[in-house]
Structures are given as C-alpha cells and as structure tokens.
Amino acid sequence: MTVNGAGVTASVEPRTHLADFLRESMLLTGTHLGCEHGVCGACTVLIDGAPARACIAFAAACDGVFVTTIEGLEDDPVMARLRAAFTAEHALQCGYCTPGMLVTARDIVLRLPDADEARVRLELAGNLCRCTGYVGIVRAILRVLAEAPAPDVVAPQPLPRATFALPVAEPVVPVLPGGEVLAQRLRIAAPLAAVWAAVQNPALIAECVPGARLTLQDGPNIAGDLALALGPMKARFAGRAEVTFGPGHLAQVRGEGRDALSGTRLTADATVALQADRDATVMELQVRYSLRGPLAQFARSAVVAAFAAEIAETVGKNLAARLTGTAPPVARRMGLGRLVLSVVRRWLFSLLS
Ligand code: FES
Ligand code: FES
C-alpha cells in the first residue's frame, strides 16, 4: 500500500487491523484508538481519499490502497485552516478525538461547502468527543466553511497508482521505511573460505553470538531467540528470519522479533559482505533496524552503536576461535560502566579522526 505518499510492503497477520499496523509498524501514532469497533471515530484516516475507520479495516485488505493519516495532512492547506480554527474555537481539550475529528472535518469542508450547523452535526455523528461538548468543534468547522475557499483547495483524489510501484521482490518480513542504520567492520583471524562457510551455517553463527539460541532451521528460514542484558535492563527477543546468499560472498538476513517482557518489537535487515585480507577476513556488516515499543527509546543513541560494537567484537573473536580451534574468549557481561566507557571512547575516536 501507499501510506502518506510512500510505498510500503509488509507481511501482516490476517487479523491485524489497519490502525495497529499504522501505529505499531509504521509508528504513525497520530491515528488514535478508542473503541476499536468502529463507533468512536478516533481512528479515522483517509483510504483512497475517503474517511474510513482504521480499526475495522484489516491491513491485509488494504493491499494496493492509498492511506493518508493525520501526519500525511501536515502540509494540507485545508488542514492548516482547520488547525487554526480548532485552536481559536477551543475545539479540543484532551485531544484524544482530535486527529479523527480533523480528518472528518476536512472531509466535510471539501465535500459540503454549503453545510449549515445541523448538517455539520449530522456529519460529525460518527466522531465521539468525551470532553468538549462539540460546541467548539462545530464552531471551528463552520468558521472554516465561512471563509472563502483557499485557491489551492482541491477535493481529495486518490493518487495515481502507477506512481508508487511496489518493489517486485516482496520480502517475507516487513521492511520499514526509515529505521536506524548500524555499520560494523570486523577483522576475523581466519581465511575467507572458512569464514564464508561459517556464515552459511546459522547454527555455528548462533553459537558465537552471546545469548543467541537457534530453535529452527528450515532452508532459508530460521527461528530462535536472543537474550540481551544491558546493566539492569534485560530483554529476550524471540523471532524468525530469512537468510539468503548472493554472489561475491554476500549474505542478507531479514528478521523480526519480539521481547515478551516489554512487548518491544525489533525488525532488522542485515547485509554481510566478506573480503579476504591476507590470511584473515574482513567482515562488513550493515544493519537497518527499527525498534517499536518501550525499548525504542534506546534505538537512536550512541548506546546502541556501542552495544552493537561490543557484541560484534565478541562474535568476531568467538568465530575466529571456532575456526582456528583455539579457546573462545570468556564472555563478558555488558555493564553500564563499561558501556559508558565504550561510548566515550567511540566519541573521542570520531572527534580525533
Ligand atoms: S477506534 Fe476506530 S472507531 Fe473507535
Ligand atoms: S477533546 Fe478529549 S475526547 Fe475530544
């Protein structure tokens, strides 16, 4: 589907409704959920230009449609006038109903330029507000209707579908727009052929990742879990991934997981490229990842980069030890003190560079 002008490809559970998909997978939390059964209107979005309840539309049924959320109307001229009118008329109190109210209000303004108060109230009947008593909301809409229409106001049109052709190869797990990118370079003290053979052996790699456990391997599909501990913070992500191999010692891993304790979801797409460096191997690792949920607050910081660098370093040493038959290094727990030191060290290094 196309969401706010950007093509999105994802595989979803049949029961996932559009509002959950928008909020949890795309982090478009402007779409609110009130009743979740089509009554309150808090979840109203535009589907192919028309207002619709995102809580009773299955995401899978929206295959190929154009969805516009409140975030996608940021620069919309009618919405700009409505926002100003809602402010002037005190048309919100807690604001919970407001995104749905605004989407519906915009539709009224565009579709019914001659609407009077009775018609506005009738049209708003599908949007419930528990705070305002509706008086301010109705006044705000009437205020915009009374203004001369802006010259750039156009009725909502579905966008031409061909403009946003989706990629031909559909991934098995969601590929989210945006996300954070992490790059790691690792030198492994083992020859290229041996490291490449190891990369194609998920069971061996899992043994080298501290806290990782492989529970299923079926062709390119793997499943397992990964326990992480960062100071007092602990998480165990259980999930699945697809591993594919390309020419030129390239591997790609796409996966998703969920921490049962915090409910945080992780989606990642990693590329591994190997290159010989005399009798050693250089591994370039690039990961695009997205965290949704309580632990997402850690997604953007130098903390994650330092944490990932530590894990990558350990994996590299474990792998080299396995391939050369030497004793693996003793696994060290990532304490907060060590993490802070690592962040400062990386920051100083980049500054001096
Ligand atoms: S949450 Fe969708 S109508 Fe109430
Ligand atoms: S402003 Fe609170 S529900 Fe409408």
**Is residue 93 in contact with ligand 2, taking CB distance under 6 Å?**
yes
| DSSP-assigned letter for residue 58 | B
Ligand 1 neighbours by CB, cut-off 6 Å: 33-36, 38-43, 53, 55
Per-residue b or e along 302-312, where b marks 16 or more CB atoms closer than 10 Å to that residue's CB: ebbbbbbbbbb
Q: What are phi and psi of 149, to 5 degrees?
A: -60, 140
- Give the C-alpha separation, 69 to 113, whole Å: 22
pLDDT for 172 equals: 34
Mean pLDDT for 302-317 is: 73
Cα 190 from chain centroid (whole Å)? 36
| DSSP-assigned letter for residue 164 | G
pLDDT for 258 equals: 86
45-54 contacts at long range (C-beta below 8 A, 24 or more positions apart)? 45/18, 45/19, 45/69, 45/70, 45/103, 46/103, 46/107, 46/156, 47/18, 48/158, 49/156, 49/157, 49/158, 50/107, 50/156, 51/103, 51/104, 51/107, 54/17, 54/18, 54/19, 54/22
**Is residue 131 in contact with ligand 2, taking CB distance under 6 Å?**
yes
Q: Whose CA is closest to atom 4 on ligand 2?
A: 129
- Give the C-alpha separation, 22 to 47, whole Å: 13
User: Dmax over Cα atoms in the chain, in whole Å?
Assistant: 82
Cα 116 from chain centroid (whole Å)? 42
> What would the pLDDT profile of 246-299 be if each residue is shown by its tens digit?
888 999 888 888 888 777 888 888 888 899 988 888 888 888 777 777 777 665
pLDDT for residue 2 is more than 80: yes
**How would you classify the pairing of strands 66-68 and 2-3?**
parallel
Q: Whose CA is closest to atom 2 on ligand 2?
A: 94
281 near 190, Cβ under 8 Å? Answer: yes
Across the chain, what does the average pLDDT equal?
A: 82
> What would the pLDDT profile of 85-117 be if each residue is shown by its tens digit?
999 999 999 999 999 999 999 999 999 999 999
Enumerate domains of the chain plus CATH numbers: 2-147 (3.10.20.30), 180-352 (3.30.530.20)
Report the alpha-carbon angle 274-223-174, nearest 5. 80
CB atoms < 10 A from the CB of 262, how many? 16
- Residues across the chain: 353
> What would the pLDDT profile of 112-170 be if each residue is shown by its tens digit?
999 999 999 999 999 999 999 999 999 999 999 999 665 454 444 443 333 322 233 33
Name the packing angle between helices 302-324 and 336-352 (round to 10°): 100
Q: Quick one: pLDDT band at residue 235, thresholds 50, 70, 90?
A: confident
Ligand 1 center to 295 CA (angstroms)? 27
Cα distances (angstroms) measured from residue 333 to each of 36, 147, 307:
43, 64, 11
Lookup result for tokens 């919309």: 76
- Give the C-alpha separation, 250 to 243, whole Å: 11
What pTM value is reported for the model?
Answer: 0.49
Mean pLDDT for 328-336 is: 55
Closest ligand to the CA of 91: 2
